[in-house]
Amino acid sequence: MTFPLVIKNLEKSIDDFHLSIPDLAIEEGTVTAVVGTNGAGKSTFFKMMMNLVKQDNGEIEVYGHSVRDVDDSWKQQIAYQAQTMIGCDAFTGEQLRNLMAELYPSWDEALFRRFSEKLNIPLNKKVQKLSPGVKTKLNLALNFGKNTSILMLDEPTAAMDIPSRNYFIQFLLELMEKGDRTVLIASHQADDIKKLADYLVFINKGRVSQLLEKDSLASSYRLFWLKEEPPVSRVPGEIKRTYKKVILSNQPDATMTYLSQNNLVIVDEQIPELEDIIQEILMEGEMVDV
Ligand SMILES: Nc1ncnc2c1ncn2[C@@H]1O[C@H](COP(=O)(O)OP(=O)(O)OP(=O)(O)O)[C@@H](O)[C@H]1O
């Protein structure tokens, strides 16, 4: 197994904000979604990965090379998309394309053209004249064109319309098919996470969770519809109760054992939607270890 990105116990303090990231090894061929509320530290995490923000402690390695090495040729293996395009206003898409094609030996013209043409990106217009959504699309086209083995995308779909977002998801899934690319994506869009992610990492107020496998995370939660309201305010595993008889549990086995021992009839049970699980984790500030 190859781990293109390895993080070793990172710490960073900015004023009163403290970011703490445990050991994480991101496996080749996977998409990891970085999920957190506003201001939780997602962008700071990405900037540290790109060595744009220096960590106070710990280490980040890209294909075994420390990002703090004097030799920063590892950057050619990463396409990093920040939330905004800085310093690009005076250039047209074509001019930026020429620049990127020179900087990245792996540049793939077909990938760039396919994405740009499908989303009707006006490559002859200066970036400053583009709407926020079109800027994002151009940024994505340029990053896809770099054809790097690692993509690090900070909220890439935030300003995009629904058809474009769907095309982006389809395009990225196609790129992943060969299994040699690795993606980190920060997103607030449940749909992006549901369709793209293999793993999730949660950030709550600067505290970063372990890598959680998306499917195991979903199946570790269960919604139970009961015939009657339970006699206690909280049954084992219960994290939320709605309509008095619907219980969300993050320990389904313990919940089921209790219900059966107390003759409480389950009318129906379901794995909750990923969006609901994410909402619970973010609202409760719960750090999950499954
Ligand atoms: N240069 C800076 N100076 C001071 N504080 C900073 C700086 N950069 C980030 N922070 C603080 O670090 C914290 C994390 O910010 P960050 O932008 O990483 O959050 P985020 O999770 O990406 O948020 P969002 O979802 O809103 O994009 C915030 O409290 C922010 O105020």
Predicted confidence pLDDT, tens digits, the chain (290 residues): 899 999 999 999 999 999 999 999 999 999 999 999 888 899 999 999 999 999 999 999 999 999 988 888 999 999 999 998 889 999 999 999 999 999 999 999 999 999 999 999 999 999 999 999 999 999 999 999 999 999 999 999 988 999 999 999 999 999 999 999 999 999 988 889 999 999 999 998 888 889 999 999 988 999 999 999 999 999 999 999 999 999 999 999 999 999 999 999 999 999 999 999 998 888 876 555 44
**Closest Cα to atom 14 of ligand 1:** 41
pLDDT of residue 8: 94
Q: What ipTM was predicted for this assembly?
A: 0.92
| Cα distance between residue 200 and residue 209, in whole Å | 9
| Cα distance between residue 192 and residue 89, in whole Å | 28
Listed in order, strand segments (DSSP E) in 67-209 are 78-81, 150-154, 182-186, 199-204, 207-208
pTM of the model: 0.91
| Cα distance between residue 201 and residue 128, in whole Å | 34
Q: Is 255 in the pocket of ligand 1 (CB under 6 A)?
A: no
Reading the block at residue 239, the tokens are 């994290």
269 close to 224: Cβ distance less than 8 angstroms: yes
Mutate to test the pocket of ligand 1, among 15, 44, 55, 153 (most ligand atoms within 8 A of CB): 44
Q: Is 15 in the pocket of ligand 1 (CB under 6 A)?
A: yes
12 alpha carbon – ligand 1 mean position (Å): 12
Question: DSSP label at 189?
Answer: -
| Cα distance between residue 134 and residue 96, in whole Å | 14
Q: Which residues contact 63 (CB under 8 A, 6 or more apart)?
A: 4, 74, 77
**Closest Cα to atom 3 of ligand 1:** 14
Beta bridge partners of 209: none
Q: Is 38 in the pocket of ligand 1 (CB under 6 A)?
A: yes
Fold of 5-213: Rossmann fold (3.40.50)
Beta bridge partners of 66: 61
What b/e string do you get for 40-52 counting C-beta neighbours within 10 Å, with b at 16 or more?
Answer: bbbbbbbbbbbbe
- Cα dihedral sign, 152-210-157-117: positive
Q: Is 93 in the pocket of ligand 1 (CB under 6 A)?
A: no
| Cα distance between residue 240 and residue 173, in whole Å | 34
**Closest Cα to atom 18 of ligand 1:** 41
Q: Is 79 in the pocket of ligand 1 (CB under 6 A)?
A: no
46 alpha carbon – ligand 1 mean position (Å): 11
Q: Is 103 in the pocket of ligand 1 (CB under 6 A)?
A: no
**Closest Cα to atom 26 of ligand 1:** 38
pLDDT of residue 1: 87
pLDDT of residue 289: 46
Q: Can you give the residue ranges of every domain in the chain?
A: 5-213, 220-284
Beta bridge partners of 98: none
